Amino acid sequence: MQITNENYLKKITSFEGTLSLLDDFIADKLRFYKGYRNQDLGDPSKNYVSGLSPAISRRIITEYEIVRQISKSFQYGSVDKFVDEICWRTYWKGWLEHRPAVWHDYLDDLTFLRVKYHKNEIFLRAVNGETGLECFDAWVNELKTHGYIHNHARMWFASIWVFFFDIPWQLGADFFYKNLLDADPASNTLSWRWVSGLQTRGKRYIATQNNIDRFTGNRFNFPKNFYVKEKEVIDNRVYEPKISIQYQNNSSNLKKGILIHEEDLSLSFVEKNIPIMMQSKTHNPYNQTSLPINLANRSIENSIDRCKKNFGSNNVSTFDWSNPQKLTKWISDHNLEMIEVTAPTVGKFENLVPNTLKNMNIEISYKYHDWDLSFWRFSDRGFFKLKKQIKKIVAPYWNGPLFTGV
């Protein structure tokens, strides 16, 4: 897996290509994942990670499809660490669904911090990769050039950003979100909060030279007495989970159409002989850079082609969120009474979808993946509440022998 390779970019933006990448990972690297997943040797092709996150974040492939595929070749106990990482992404989504104010406050914080720091010398050196700290500058270059940093390096990066350079975590999360191919509001924002000691109060992640050396093959030089000093990040805001969230998939006899947005390109809820409307290009309210935008547009284009191939070209229409009149006309032309759409999660679609549809005089039926519903009910607190349930939740998706303890 080579992130910069055009062959990789072509594959990761389509279902068939992503499945091919998954099969290669299963055959070549999954058995080594538990022991070597934290290594970042500079060349992604030499690391033991899947590289699937850009596809998972857009649901070109779903988490449960990945679980089913790996279960054909492995028993659970030998790949539980990889399954845990897949579940972490679902957990972060669920945690933020319970506390959407975390995302909204983060956006509000950015409005103030961007003004405050736009001429700050340390901040400008950091985002331009000109700090003089070799490892950090290399990661900045990797991020801006390829839209990728190894997960372990993201933790080191965030720790150095917050505790060594003393820059607010929100600006770091924003820098990542704008550049990462797999940018996701939940995983990105909450991971930065975790490093800063806000997600689990009092528990911070502190990068050390020894740890970086150990997992990067000693490929970076450090200044003498390099030391990341632990400190408290002050934020007294408390976010309690919603008392109850009612998620359910409803059925109806109303004449319906299916709306597909870029958060869910799985086509999981598409039915034959039902009119389909698909988003034609990415929606970019947070000024992401060309790397994730181009990847998103390729992903959408491939999903449209896949949908037309599977459900008929004449049954698939496209529109742009900035010009919803075409959506209105589609509803009218097909005499639709209801739209089914994957429920948007906290982020750029949580308000866009309902606000766009509310004045169109049509019923809205939000669809949820059973995988999400199974996990989100345990995502209101810390991950270890969920971890106790992972085997039971994963069991129905597991092909092959059932593992013990379910």
6-97+375-397 against 100-216: fold identical: no
Residue 339 has pLDDT above 80, yes or no: yes
Q: Which CATH superfamily is domain 256-367 in?
A: HUPs (3.40.50.620)
In this structure, what token pair is assigned to residue 124? 């400008």
Residue 2 has pLDDT above 80, yes or no: no
Of 170-179, 218-227, 243-252, 262-271, which range is least confident?
A: 243-252
Section 372-394 average pLDDT: 93
pLDDT band at 5, cuts 50/70/90? confident
pLDDT confidence of residue 246: 67
pLDDT (tens digit, 9 = 90+) per residue, 15-64? 999 999 999 999 999 999 999 999 999 888 889 999 999 999 999 999 99
Grouping H, G, I as helix, E, B as strand and the rest as coil, residue 316 is strand
Nearest Cα neighbor of 76 from 384, 369, 398, 333 is 398
Residue 406 has pLDDT above 50, yes or no: no
Section 88-111 average pLDDT: 97
pLDDT band at 400, cuts 50/70/90? low
pLDDT (tens digit, 9 = 90+) per residue, 102-148? 999 999 999 999 999 999 999 999 999 999 999 999 999 999 999 99
pLDDT band at 315, cuts 50/70/90? very high
Contact 60, 266 (CB under 8 A): yes
Section 147-176 average pLDDT: 98
% of the chain surpassing 90 pLDDT: 90
Q: What is the CATH number that goes with domain 100-216?
A: 1.10.579.10
Burial 27-64 (b: 16+ CB within 10 A, else e): eebbeebeeebbbbeeebeebbbbbbbbbbbbbbbbbb
Section 2-23 average pLDDT: 90
In this structure, what token pair is assigned to residue 5? 């390779």
Cβ neighbours of residue 27 closer than 8 Å, sequence gap 6 or more? 73
pLDDT band at 4, cuts 50/70/90? low
Q: What is the CATH number that goes with domain 6-97+375-397?
A: 1.25.40
CA distance 5 to 381: 39
Grouping H, G, I as helix, E, B as strand and the rest as coil, residue 16 is helix
Of 30-44, 125-139, 167-181, 277-291, which range is least confident?
A: 30-44
Q: What share of the chain is helix, strand, coil (3-state, %, to 5)?
A: 50, 5, 40
Q: Which amino acid is at 148?
A: Y
Residue 402 has pLDDT above 50, yes or no: no
Residue 405 has pLDDT above 50, yes or no: no
> What crossing angle do the helices spanning 101-117 and 169-179 adopt, rounded to 10°?
100
Element (H, E) at 257: strand 256-260
pLDDT confidence of residue 131: 98
Contact 70, 84 (CB under 8 A): no
DSSP 232: P
Q: What residue spans define the domains of the chain? A: 6-97+375-397, 100-216, 256-367
pLDDT confidence of residue 243: 63
Of 183-192, 218-227, 238-247, 339-348, which range is least confident?
A: 238-247
pLDDT confidence of residue 404: 41
pLDDT confidence of residue 158: 98
pLDDT band at 244, cuts 50/70/90? low
Average pLDDT, the chain: 94
